[in-house]
Amino acid sequence: MSQSFDARQLRETTAAESAPTPAQFRQAMLRHLQYTVGKSPQQASLFDWRMALSHTVRDYAVDPWFSATRRTWDEDRKRVYYLSMEFLIGRLLEDQAINLGLRDVMVQVLAEFGLSFDEVAEGEPDAALGNGGLGRLAACYLESMATMGCPAYGYGLRYEHGLFRQHFENGRQIETPENWLATDNPWDFTRPEAAYPVGFGGELHDHDGASIWSPRSKVLASAHDTPVVGYGGQWANTLRLWAAMPSADLFNLDRFNAGDFAAASEPEALARSLSRVLYPNDTTEGGKELRLSQEYFLTSASVQDILRRYLAAHDDLLKLPEFVAIQMNDTHPAIAGPELIRLLVDEHAVDFDTAVETATSVLGYTNHTLLPEALERWSVGLMRKVLPRHLQIIETLDTQFIALQGQAPNPVRLISNDQVSMGDLAFTTSHKVNGVSALHTELVSQELFPVHNELHPGRIVNITNGVTPRRWLKLANPSLAALITDTIGAGWESDLERLRELEPYAEDPAFRDAFGRSKRQAKEHFTGWLAAEHGIELPAEALYDAQVKRLHEYKRQLLNILWTIAHWQRIKRDPQANWVPRVKIFGGKAAPSYHMAKLIIQLINDVAEVVNNDPETRHLLRVVYPPNYGVSMAEKLIPAADLSEQISTAGMEASGTGNMKFALNGALTIGTLDGANVEIREHVGAENFFLFGLTTEQVGERRAQQGHSRAALEASQTLRDVLQAIAEGTFSPEDHHRYDGLLETMWNSDWFLVASDFEDYDRAQGEVADCYSDPEKWQRMAILNIARMGYFSSDRSIREYMSQIWDVESAL
Ligand code: 26W
């Protein structure tokens, strides 16, 4: 591509039309193998081939990237900036290839060299720059914004080490550092010219009424860009990840000459740690100074970059809201409000109130959790130490917010009990606040921000989560995707509501058979990988029952494993009965400091050890827990599942997105009326969903009942037998008291109502087995689930953000 090539010409061509011929693709790939990787086909390793392939696919990503960037400038379009401490991206090669219409030619050309795409692609490390739901949602949303032609940037941190690797020793989770950057990342474009100093600590000086902040240390934020191509290759956006760089001119010579060597080299130390590692907690904020510094580093570098880009084409900062929308992915970048106000006031002489108004019109805040321990509250002392100027601004915003509440007896404060509430701050400095499912948004308005909601009616809106059908169906489940395209034609990939056209085929035996075959194919693909990677052999003919998500008590993996023990005990009592063979699949990491979650992991592995080696039952029941669950494992596991476990205590799972991925791949859901389960059940039909458990209201009532857990246990012989077996050391013969703490909690507190929901869960699992014993009925329900999941595309979610919050038009 000669530099003089004008990207605009590209706009007309669709990905398909611009797809190269096998000959062109082969020539381009061999060129990269030789000149970029420096290997001949004879010498090339799988790694070399993957590098050559990635660079070849990348070339095709650059053109839509250039043209999108140019068009956005030329047409002075409004841009969306998605600020997130996490982007759980996974692998990029196949995803980008699919969106560029290159997968088929790629697979074909590789085959000519005797290479299978899967073995080449399997070498790519996951970019695991996130913990779970929030991080993966950000990745799905980036891909959907590009597919929708929404001009956007994702801003995040380029952690050297993503989420830890998990392995088990004697059933216990062991964490080891993740090292995705150990080998070249072909999707990374370094942008040394996009670098910004970020200040930390220091003092404030008053200078004729203006507050001057002189930071104690500064660290350079340097940009690394990754193109995010939309489906169809018509548009591509940028994911800009900041890396902390110690830079000479930030070395504090004065402090050094003053003999304060520690302070002098502080920037170095800080720089080395700021983008070193992702915090592995996904529900407890922990109040660590480095975490706050990471959040500010991300936010300040991003807001500086946003203002630089804006001022390159505009000079009136008060018009910022017409051209810039910033979305805060939870409170983690909530310092963006004070940072934007600081820059407008301190560096652009805008008066305070106008700066507040401008910032509020630019910012949006998405809340992803109601868990009290996950709501960030930074101590005033720490905020003053790290960000003295921002604390000053927050104090002023606090005063204004109190004034807004008039004579209210005890007004809500941004600062209370010597802590800054980042949720209240984010709400106050945003023009729109959204929850991530209808039920969750209701609770956000009623439980989390009732006063704010009163004061700012209409500020809270709901935008139910979604998932990208490109990665989670077209990429992860090629046989089902092909069946769908053969049946209703192509196009559903970017218009998922078209799946509705599958409904009549639920009544078509031929289609049901074809669906059955694609499910079996997905199972063989998963079990093949499981055997090769973990030496675990699974029976193909069984109900694959999966619960894969982060380990947390509210997600109730405990309820699942306790039921599994009860099921095992039942089979042992009556082995001749006509049991549906079942494989219980677990997957998920626990935050390293979350001991109860780690104990539940150990219990699952201890039960697996006994059940899988029980000659009486192992042909009817297996428990598998492949370690290191993440995006790439999910892509293999989810298409293979028959049953999706979404069993959280009602009112505690904000939305869930795994629930959507399973249903989209034809798994039926057993679940509570929690998060997006409620809407999934509404869309797929109550008759195609296995519902159980207390509702959110009933949870509140039951928790208020003294001794509710003991009462529930006394009412369930089945559950008591399970706890008895655990207490007797059946699953921990070498340590009978291993689960005493867990049993004690079950009998005396059970905040997550595992005992109260056990019998109803058991009832629902019985219905699952009965239904699965009628394959025709099951397949009909599964096909109707797929057909009615169109709403849960992240394209629909993004369309709602564009119209309800960002006020941005598609450029396509
Ligand atoms: C400060 C530590 C921390 C880190 C991450 C606290 C909280 C988080 C996230 C908000 C946790 C998270 O991932 N929440 C999940 O977000 C998903 C996307 O909206 C939802 O589908 C899940 O229900 C929610 O648990």
- Enumerate the domain spans of the chain: 1-75+96-125, 76-90+128-465, 469-695+757-792
Average pLDDT value for residue range 239-256: 78
The DSSP secondary-structure symbol of 387 reads -
Q: Can you tell me the distance from the alpha carbon of 702 to that of 709, in angstroms, rounded to the nearest whole number?
A: 9
Ligand 1 atom nearest to CA at 285 = 1
Give residue 374's pLDDT.
Answer: 94
Closest ligand 1 atom to Cα of 657: 21
Rounded to the nearest whole angstrom, what is the distance from the C-alpha of residue 478 to the centroid of ligand 1?
A: 29
Could you check whether 76-90+128-465 and 469-695+757-792 share the same CATH topology? yes
- CA of 133 from ligand 1 middle (Å) equals 6
Residues designated catalytic = 368, 549-550, 555, 657, 661
Establish whether residue 654 lines the binding site of ligand 1, counting it when its CB lies within 6 angstroms of any ligand atom: yes
CATH dotted code for 76-90+128-465: 3.40.50.2000
The overall average pLDDT reported for the chain is: 95
Residue 18 has pLDDT above 90, yes or no: no
Name the closest-CA residue to atom 10, ligand 1.
368
E strands, 5-102, where? Answer: 79-83, 87-90
Dist. CA 369 → ligand 1 center (Å): 6
DSSP string over 762-786: HHHHHHHHHHHTSHHHHHHHHHHHH
Dump pLDDT digits (tens) for 541-566. 999 999 999 999 999 999 999 999 99
Q: What is the pLDDT of residue 287?
A: 76
SS3 of 224, please?
A: strand
> Strand pairing partners for 671?
646, 691
Q: What is the mean pLDDT of residues 178-204?
A: 96
User: How far apart, in whole angstroms, are the C-alpha atoms of residue 405 and residue 369?
Assistant: 26
Mean pLDDT of 491-512: 98
Inform me whether the pLDDT recorded for 512 exceeds 70: yes
pLDDT of 14 over the 80 cut: no
pLDDT given at position 254: 73
In a mutational test of the pocket of ligand 1, which residue from 277, 283, 468, 792 has the highest number of ligand atoms less than 8 Å from its CB?
283
Q: Identify the pLDDT of residue 597.
A: 98
Closest to 765 (Cα-Cα) out of 681, 640, 645, 621: 645
Ligand 1 midpoint to CA 750 (Å):
22
649 pocket-lining for ligand 1 (C-beta < 6 Å): no
Contacts 24+ apart (CB under 8 A), 66-71: 66/7, 66/10, 67/7, 67/8, 67/10, 67/11, 68/149, 68/151, 68/235, 68/236, 68/237, 68/811, 69/238, 70/7, 70/8, 71/8, 71/11, 71/811
Give the DSSP letter of residue 615.
Answer: T
- Residue closest by Cα to atom 22 of ligand 1: 656
Does the C-beta of 137 come closer than 6 Å to ligand 1? yes
Distance CA(671)–CA(656), nearest Å, equals: 11
Using the mean position of ligand 1's atoms as its centre, give its distance from the Cα of residue 179 in Å: 23
- Please work out, in degrees rounded to the nearest 5, the angle formed at the alpha carbon of residue 57 by the alpha carbons of 52 and 60: 135
Vertex 603 angle, CA 600 and 607, to 5°: 145
Ligand 1 center from residue 235 Cα (angstroms): 29
Ligand 1 atom with the shortest distance to the CA of 675: 23
| For residue 5, pLDDT beyond 70 | no
State the pLDDT confidence band at 282, using cuts at 50, 70 and 90: confident
Find out whether the beta carbon of 283 lies less than 6 Å from any atom of ligand 1.
yes
368 lines ligand 1 (CB under 6 A): yes
Please give the average per-residue pLDDT across 693-701, as a whole number.
Answer: 98
Which of 77-91, 278-292, 618-632 is the least confident region? 278-292
Say how far apart CA 322 and CA 345 lie, in whole Å.
19
Q: pLDDT for 401-425, tens place per residue?
A: 999 999 899 999 999 999 999 999 9
Q: At 746, is the secondary structure helix, strand, or coil?
A: helix
Report the C-alpha gap between 803 and 800 in whole angstroms.
5
Rounded to the nearest angstrom, the distance between the alpha carbon of 420 and the centre of ligand 1 is 20
Question: Considering the chain, what percentage of its residues have pLDDT values greater than 70?
Answer: 96
Q: Per-residue pLDDT for 576 more than 60?
A: yes
pLDDT score for 8: 44
How far apart are the CA of 172 and the centre of ligand 1, in A?
24
What residues form DSSP beta bridges with 128? 88
Summarize pLDDT for 137-155 with one digit per residue, the tens. 999 999 999 999 999 999 9
Is there an atom of ligand 1 within 6 Å of 445 CB?
no
Task: Give nearest CA residue, ligand 1 atom 4.
Answer: 282
- pLDDT one-digit tens code per residue, 348-404: 999 999 999 999 999 999 999 999 999 999 999 999 999 999 999 999 999 999 999
Q: How confident is the model at residue 73 (pLDDT cuts 50, 70, 90)?
A: very high
Ligand 1 within 6 A of 281 CB? yes
pLDDT band of 135, cuts 50, 70, 90: very high
Distance 137 CA to ligand 1 centre (A): 10
pLDDT band at 267 (very low <50, low <70, confident <90, very high): low
**DSSP string computed for 420-444:** EEHHHHHHHT-SEEEESSHHHHHHI
Q: Ligand 1: which atom is nearest the Cα of residue 137?
A: 18
Label residue 17 by pLDDT band (50, 70, 90). Answer: low
Is the C-beta atom of 464 inside 6 A of ligand 1?
A: no
- pLDDT for the residue 248: 64
In angstroms, how far is the first alpha carbon of the chain from the final one? 24
CB-based contacts of 227: which residues, under 8 Å, 6+ apart? 58, 61, 62, 65, 96, 187, 189, 236, 237, 238, 239
CA–CA gap between residue 756 and residue 740 (Å, rounded): 20
Substitution candidate for ligand 1 out of 330, 448, 792 with most atoms within 8 A of CB: 330
Per-residue pLDDT, 2? 42
Confidence of residue 4 (pLDDT cuts 50, 70, 90): very low
Average pLDDT over residues 463-467: 98
Mean pLDDT of 706-726: 98
Beta carbon of 374 within 6 Å of any ligand 1 atom: yes
pLDDT at 12 over 80: no
What is the atom index within ligand 1 of the atom nearest the CA of 330? Answer: 10
The owner of tokens 């790694």 is 47
Distance CA 433, CA 454 (A): 13
Q: Is the CB of 295 under 6 A from ligand 1?
A: no
Does residue 226 have its Cβ closer than 6 Å to ligand 1? no
User: Residue 620's pLDDT is what?
Assistant: 98
Question: Would you state the pLDDT for residue 6?
Answer: 46
Nearest to 46 by CA among 239, 183, 201: 183
Given pLDDT bands bounded at 50, 70 and 90, which one contains residue 15? Answer: low
Predicted pLDDT at 120: 98
How is domain 469-695+757-792 classified at the architecture level of CATH? 3-Layer(aba) Sandwich (3.40)
Rg from Cα positions in the chain: 27
Rounded to 5 degrees, φ, ψ at 85 are: -75, -10
Q: How far apart are CA 73 and CA 290, in angstroms?
A: 36
Whether the pLDDT of residue 255 is over 50: the answer is yes
Atom of ligand 1 nearest to the CA of 654: 23
pLDDT confidence bin for 266, thresholds 50/70/90: low
Tell me what pLDDT residue 256 has: 74
**pLDDT by residue (tens digit) across 750-799?**
999 999 999 999 999 999 999 999 999 999 999 999 999 999 999 999 99
- pLDDT tens column, 608-651: 999 999 999 999 999 999 999 999 999 999 999 999 999 999 99
Contact call for residues 81 and 306 (beta carbons, < 8 A): yes
Percent of the chain with pLDDT over 90: 92
Q: Whose CA is nearest to atom 15 of ligand 1?
A: 133
